[in-house]
Amino acid sequence: MATSTLLCIHRDPAQLSLLQENGYDLVTATNGREGLRLFMSQPVDAIVLEYHLGLLDGATIAAEIKQVRPEVPIVMLTDHLELPDGALKSVDALVVKADGVHFLLATVHFVLNVKPVQSREGKTRSQTPAQPRRLGGSRAGVARQQPDTPPAATDKTDEPFSPKTWKSIRNGTTQF
């Protein structure tokens, strides 16, 4: 499996060392301007972006990145949930620092691995006709089209992990 490269734009990138310890290659910047320069100069698979960066806040940096490469997932890291309106419109996930680095690790794993699969599956599902097809002219000739995935797999597409798994991620007992 190829190693993913993360651009970490954070005032103290050393706080994100758990990501590197779990196999991610890190490219780090301590401010928004340096982060944008690195983003433009080298390929990255995802971005971990601190909201409070100083002159350029994380929302501004995220919007600039999405204008250039909208497919790159951005995980916003913040001290608290109280952010200005529109601060999250260009990010794919939000992690509050109090949730811990294991939760950040799980979120990065999610945006790189689970979310892209869900998007591809969603496109496939949306192309599948919802109504059964009739064969012949009688009611006895109704054939139900079988979906590509079992119904249980489509019930909770917005919930990639069970509540029990999220709890184990938060307390650090689940490792990736």
For the segment 57-97, what is each residue's pLDDT rounded down to a tens digit?
899 999 999 999 999 999 999 998 888 888 889 999 999 99
Q: What is the CA radius of gyration of the chain?
A: 20
pTM beyond cutoff 0.85? no
Mean pLDDT by 10 residues, the chain (176 residues): 87 92 95 95 96 88 94 93 85 92 93 72 48 39 39 46 63 62
What is the spatial distance between Cα 99 and Cα 105, in angstroms, rounded to a whole number? Answer: 11
What CATH superfamily is the domain 5-170?
Response regulator (3.40.50.2300)
Would you say 49 and 9 are in contact if contact means Cβ atoms under 8 Å apart?
Answer: yes
Per-residue pLDDT at 2: 61
pLDDT score, position 78: 92
Residues 9 and 47: beta-carbon distance below 8 Å:
yes
* Predicted local confidence at residue 138, as pLDDT: 40
- CA dihedral sign of residues 111, 116, 117, 123: positive
* AA identity, residue 169: I
Cβ contacts of residue 56 below 8 Å, gap of 6+?
31, 32, 33
Residue ranges per structural domain of the chain:
5-170
Q: For 89-164, where are the E strands, in sequence order?
A: 93-96, 133-134, 142-143
Structure tokens at 123: 């496109």
Give the end-to-end CA distance of the chain in Å, rounded to a whole number: 13
| Closest by Cα among 16, 56, 51 to 33 | 56
C-beta separation of 26 from 15 below 8 A: no
pLDDT at residue 165 in the model: 66
